[in-house]
Structure 1
């Protein structure tokens, strides 16, 4: 039997990252439900650490089958599906990868915004069909508009910094104002949507943010407004978004996350004023490597007695 610390990984890992982690830990990679159940049945009594992601988490029932568990890490920043009360009741340490993919997500948010406002998806199709610009309505500017950010955390602030290069006026909504932030604070999502031209959602998932962007907020954003979501799919009411896009209540949207993940959002398929990507905003070789390195720093800090680097 290995003298390495047993680790259960329940998210997908590339082969090179399996090798990197496996060099230091007894790796049990079980990214689907069947494999996870088998690993827990065979090795649950020995597992001391778990690596997962926020949208997968780990169930309270699974935690109960891991009597020697002492560390749970999320590869990214999100941790909405961790049973935090149960973990804390047992004194299990939790950590995440906050900050490791912020640049990738912020880049992707601006990409979705520019591509949506400039109608690049439609323009690409029309160009391939042989349509010349004289037959196409002119797409709008991005620069100089009002950008509203829902969730001004580290990712939201990096989005704001990029938007400033486009001479945008920036407003935001959080549960409370952030100290030392120069941007205009709005005390509700509705007020922010009424003010801005573009609304970017960078809020975390979970019950507190579910359907914050609903039919009323989308109506407030208006027929010239655009929505971008790189936070969590649960923050946007999919039925309300489909109706708003279909009826022209907003001009367009670019979303990287949606409620039906990993299945495609059927209500949104076929809408030409929507740009979709499959929850890849935080995925890049650089970001993924940084996230794996952060997990190793968290795990090594914990097992060496120094403590984790980025506790939840």
Structure 2
């Protein structure tokens, strides 16, 4: 029997085609209004939902899908999926750990180099015929102290790039020290920021990391420090970051994610010591293909009566 899949996130046409070729009828609902209308019209026949961590799915929407059996999160995050509601219905939840780690780590280093070396500003100046305007010295990347907030799989890949590619000394803060690593462990984000030249955020999202980077952390990073966020916008206190950039309390920042995206606060858009990209760190062709394939594999396993490959634990 054809299984109906409600898709709540943007998926490239080739990705949708692969999902449908695997035997699933995809119904795309990206806006809040489309979501409401789709659930009202199709709710009784939806068997699966495809979402991601920053979009998620709320308890009320889960309740309106009586045949829902599985929720798949595209990518590693799942912080806005109501796990309690899923558990109450015995709905399986999956995510995509490891599918885009290398892509995200690559982008983190690209953002770091862009903001530290002032590449976007220099490019804009040259295009305006202002060759000499931005030829003042910019800091090096090599040999500096790299602080990583969250040493999971992505954090480890960033650390390896920093250490082996740029000869950096690497320090990190996580909930607990990670075994089998020689990187320096710091008990708090403030202590990490005080030590580091650059801090890259690679934590999960959710309530446990909400505004983990606040005014105190930014003050500790200092006027020569740079911040990069490829995790979730909620990890950074946006107002505190804007103030720190305006007042030169830190040297610069680069964000692939912002709180409340895709809406970007006006106070950020105006800043010339900030580099912004639209949540594309994990969107290399290789990573996208891998994440979509894992969704298909999880859906096939579940509806084939087999354990899913990457289940999210629903026990709280």
Same fold (TM over 0.5): yes
1:1-312 residue pairs with structure 2 within 5 A? 3-23=1-21, 24-133=23-132, 136-164=135-163, 165-312=165-312
Shift of 1:259: 1.1
- Mapped contact 2:122–2:134 kept (Cα < 8 A): no
Give 1:171 deviation, angstroms.
0.6
CA-to-aligned-CA distance 1:138-173 (integer Å, 9 cap, x gap): 011000000000011111111111111100000111
Deviation at 1:133, TM superposition (A): 4.8
CA distance in 2, matches of 1:307, 1:133: 61
Deviates more, 1:298-307 or 1:121-130: 121-130
Give the CA RMSD over aligned residues: 1.4
Could you tell me whether the CA contact under 8 Å between 1:213 and 1:236 is conserved in 2? yes
Deviates more, 1:158-167 or 1:40-49: 40-49
| Contact 2:189–2:213 (CA under 8 A) maintained in structure 1 | yes
Aligned-pair CA distance for 1:135: 6.6
1:302 and 1:103, CA in 2 relative to 1: closer, same or farther beyond 3 A?
same
Equivalent residues of 1:114, 1:142 under 8 A apart: yes
Q: Count residues with an aligned counterpart.
A: 310
* In structure 1, distance between residues paired with 2:180 and 2:88: 35
* TM-score normalised by L of structure 1: 0.96
CA distance in 2, matches of 1:115, 1:267: 20
Contact 1:197–1:224 (8 Å) recurs in 2: yes
Q: 1:261 to 1:18 in 2, by over 3 A?
A: same
Check conservation: 2:205, 2:232, Cα contact below 8 A.
yes
Contact 1:238 1:267 in 2 (8 A): no
Secondary structure of residue in 2 paired with 1:68:
coil
Distance 1:46 1:76, change over 3 A: same
- Residues 260 and 68 (structure 1 numbering): CA distance in 2 closer, same or farther, change over 3 Å? closer
Cα distance change of structure 1 residues 248 and 40 upon mapping to structure 2, 3 Å threshold = same
Change (3 A) 1:135 1:308: closer
Quote how far apart the aligned CAs of 1:42 are: 2.4
Deviations 1:3-53 (A, max 9, x none): 211211111121122111112112222222222222222221222211111
Shift of 1:249: 0.7
Q: Which runs of 5+ in 1 are unaligned?
A: none
TM-score scaled by structure 2? 0.95
